[in-house]
Amino acid sequence: MDGLRNSEYRHLEVNRIAGSLGAEVSGVDLSQDLPEAVLSEIRKALLDNLVIFFRDQRLTPPTQLAFARRWGEIHLHPYMAGMDDYPEVLEIRKTPADKKNFGGSWHSDQAFTAKPAMGTILYGVEIPSAGGDTLWTNQYLAYETLSPGMRRMLDGLKGVYRGDNFSSHDGKTRREYYADKISMKVIDPGDTQTISTHPLVRTHPETGRKALFVGGHLHRFEDMTEAESRPLIDFLMQHATRPEFTCRFRWRSGSLAFWDNRCTMHFAINDYPAETRIMHRVTICGDTPF
């Protein structure tokens, strides 16, 4: 199967890591100014596999940003401060002193903004000796495996997505929730839109496939209360993260993941309490879900 898939590529080697999504890509140095033919094959690998992984890269914040800019405008996180010298790069840092990790729940990046992120590029700088893996889940499959009746109902629903969706934590804001738990700097989003309404089932603008659009930012359904919405949200989250829809990536320093937020969710596992994990994240702007 992998040999058949690799026959579609002239410049890359692409090998799947799980049955549902995810592939390792080799034969490319992402620090270089890549020709359009190589970028076209990387795009194909991303659309086919939803998340792609590159090993043994040697990236600096400028070269990571240069690669990311080939895919679109860079998104600034409205709640978390970027690096001092490179504000478009979010340094995701967890040390033994931190009680909470960043991204430790199932979510799609920036789902609460008017135009959620198209993609995210995450680079491993310092990796624990064990642990700190990331999970992804295929939201095409999550939608396609629902019953016909459930799909018909969801096709007409819209969700309200909130950046500060911490209702399960005594209604705390993001700043209050992370206080004394994480060493990353939480900032005021100012006038950035952090509550948005989107279709619960979105159509991928490049593949045309429908995907479930849920995650930790989903607060309730439009025209419904949170209490009315919660049972269905809980069911959909449990369904969307079934093991057979997922892949798991073991990080090494120099590894890079590039994923499509339009059809995946991801989860950063917090299982390295005595060690440090440092990642550099760049997020690419997307468009309005439909």
Q: Which residues are catalytic?
A: 107, 109, 266, 281
Indicate the residue type of 144.
E
What single letter denotes the amino acid at residue 161?
Answer: Y
Beta strands 51-54; 23-26: pairing state: parallel
Q: Which residues contact 74 (CB under 8 A, 6 or more apart)?
A: 65, 68, 88, 282, 283, 284, 285
Q: Which residue has the tokens 């840092």?
A: 93
- The label of the residue with tokens 């939201």 reads 139
With H, G, I as helix, E, B as strand and everything else as coil, classify residue 48.
helix
- Length reported for the chain: 290
Query: What one-character DSSP code corresponds to residue 186?
Result: B
The residue type found at 12 is L
Q: Are 271 and 135 in contact (CB under 8 A)?
A: no
Closest CA relative to residue 113, chosen from 36, 171, 191: 191
Distances (CA, A) of 48 to 155, 241, 263: 24, 19, 11
Among the listed residues 227, 225, 203, the one whose alpha carbon sits nearest the alpha carbon of residue 213 = 203
Residue type, 10: R
Dihedral sign (CA 22, 25, 31, 32): negative
